Structure 1
Amino acid sequence: MALSAADVRVARMPPDLVPSAALAEPSAVESAVLASAASPGEPITRTRLLGAEHTRLVAGPDHSAVPLRLSDPGVASLLSPGARVDVVAADPHEVVARSAVVLAVRAEGSARDGPVVLLALQGDSATRVASVALERPVGVTLR
C-alpha cells in the first residue's frame, strides 16, 4: 500500500541515533511503498522505500509492472515489496515467469476477488503473465 504524509510523524531523536538516510519530512514518503514491514516509531530511511524511482532500481528499466490476482488469495499475505517469486499457472501446469519482483500488494477488493499483487517482470515475460492470468488461475512460488 502506498504511503502518504499522514502515515508518518516527525519525532525528535538524539543526533547520534538518527540513521544517515533518515527522512526528515513526512512529504518524502508520498506515494512510496515500504520495502518491508515497519514497527511503530521506527525511523524511515530512503533505503526502506520503493517509490517510482526506487522501483526502477529494484526491477530495472527494462521491466514492466503487471497486476494480478492469485488463485489462492491467502498467499498474497506472505508477500512484501522486494520479494522475488516465480509465477506458475494451472491447467496445464507450467512456470510462466521466473524471478519476478513484488512491487506492492494491494489488499483492497472484495473477499471473492482477493488482493492485487503488482509484479515487475522483464521484457516479454510481463506480457505473457498478463495474458495467462486472464485465461487461467495463477499462483506464485517464493524464492
Structure 2
Amino acid sequence: MSSIRARAQQVRRVVRRRVLARRRLLAALFTAGAVAAGLQAALGPPPPTVAITTAARDLSAGTVLDADDLRVLEVPPDAVPSGVVDDATGRTLAAPLRSGEPVTDVRLVGASLAAAHPGLTALPVRLPDPGSAALLEAGDRIDLVATDPQAGGSRVVAYDALVLAVPESSDDGSSEPVTGAVVVLAVDPAAVADVADAAARLFLTYAFSR
C-alpha cells in the first residue's frame, strides 16, 4: 500500500513540474483567448449585406445575358442602386456594362428602358442594312431617313432619335430568310406612326445627328 502511495506522489510531482515548466505558455494561451473573446464581443456581429446581380466581365450593348455573364456580389444595403434586377438571365443589354457593375432595369431592353426617357416612345425598328445597323451604339443620336425605291426621293421621318439598344441578331432556326437588323429607338411620339409606316413600305437608313 505504501508503494502505491509513493508512486502516486511521484506522479503528482512529475505533473506539477511539467505544469510549472509550461506555466508561461499556458498563461499566454489563456490571455490570448481572453483577448480574442473580448474583441469579438466588442466588434459585435458582422454588418448586414444584400446580394445583387452584377456583370461577371465587360459586356457590350446587345448582349443576351446568360448565367456565365453574371455573378452575385454581397454589398451593404445602402450601396444597392435603384432598379437593380434580381434575375437578368435571357434579357438583352441596352448599354455596355463594366465588370462588377450592377445590372439595373434601365440597362436592359424593356419597359423600364423607355421609362428612363420620359417624353419619348421606345420603338423597335428594322434597318434593311445590317452593316449600317452594326455601326450604331446605345446613346447615339440619329435622323431616320426613308427612301422610296420605286418613286425615288427621301425624307426624314424622325429627327434626333435616341438609340436605346442594338440587340445582337440571333438565328431562331427558321427557314425564312431574315434581312436587316433591329434597333430600339426612342422617338418623338408624334413620329411613331410615320416611322412604322416607313418601316413597312420604304427603305430605312439614318444619318448621325449633329
Segments of structure 1 that go 5 or more residues without pairing to the other structure are: none
Match of 1:55 among 106, 109, 114: 114
Segments of structure 2 that go 5 or more residues without pairing to the other structure are: 1-61
CA distance, structure 2, for counterparts of residue 57 and residue 25 of structure 1: 15
TM-score, structure 1 normalization: 0.69
Contact 1:66 1:120 in 2 (8 A): yes
Residue matched to 2:6: none
Structure 2 letter corresponding to 1:49: R
CA distance, structure 1, for counterparts of residue 84 and residue 121 of structure 2: 31
Structure number with the bigger relative contact order (C-alpha 8 A, sep ≥ 6) is 1
Structure 1 ranges of 4+ moved more than 3 A: 1-5, 19-26, 29-35, 45-48, 109-112
Secondary structure in 1 aligned to 2:71? coil
CA apart distance, 1:128: 0.2
Contact 1:21 1:47 in 2 (8 A): no
Indicate yes or no: 2:134 matched with 1:74: no
Identity percentage of aligned residues:
30
Say if 1:24 and 1:126 are closer, same or farther in 2 by CA, change over 3 A: closer
Secondary structure in 2 aligned to 1:78? coil
Deviations 1:49-103 (A, max 9, x none): 1442232122x2x433332221321111122333221101123111111111223
CA distance, structure 1, for counterparts of residue 205 and residue 94 of structure 2: 21
Residue matched to 1:9: 71
Residue matched to 1:137: 203
CA distance, structure 2, for counterparts of residue 48 and residue 64 of structure 1: 14
CA distance, structure 1, for counterparts of residue 64 and residue 83 of structure 2: 13
Contact 1:65 1:119 in 2 (8 A): yes
TM-score, structure 2 normalization: 0.51
CA distance, structure 2, for counterparts of residue 87 and residue 95 of structure 1: 6
Say if 1:25 and 1:100 are closer, same or farther in 2 by CA, change over 3 A: closer
CA distance, structure 1, for counterparts of residue 89 and residue 115 of structure 2: 17
CA distance, structure 1, for counterparts of residue 112 and residue 184 of structure 2: 16
Contact 1:8 1:26 in 2 (8 A): no
Indicate yes or no: 2:181 matched with 1:119: no
**Higher percent of residues as strand:** 1
Task: State the structure with more CA Rg.
Answer: 2
**Higher percent of residues as helix:** 2
Contact 2:158 2:188 in 1 (8 A): no
CA distance, structure 1, for counterparts of residue 107 and residue 72 of structure 2: 17
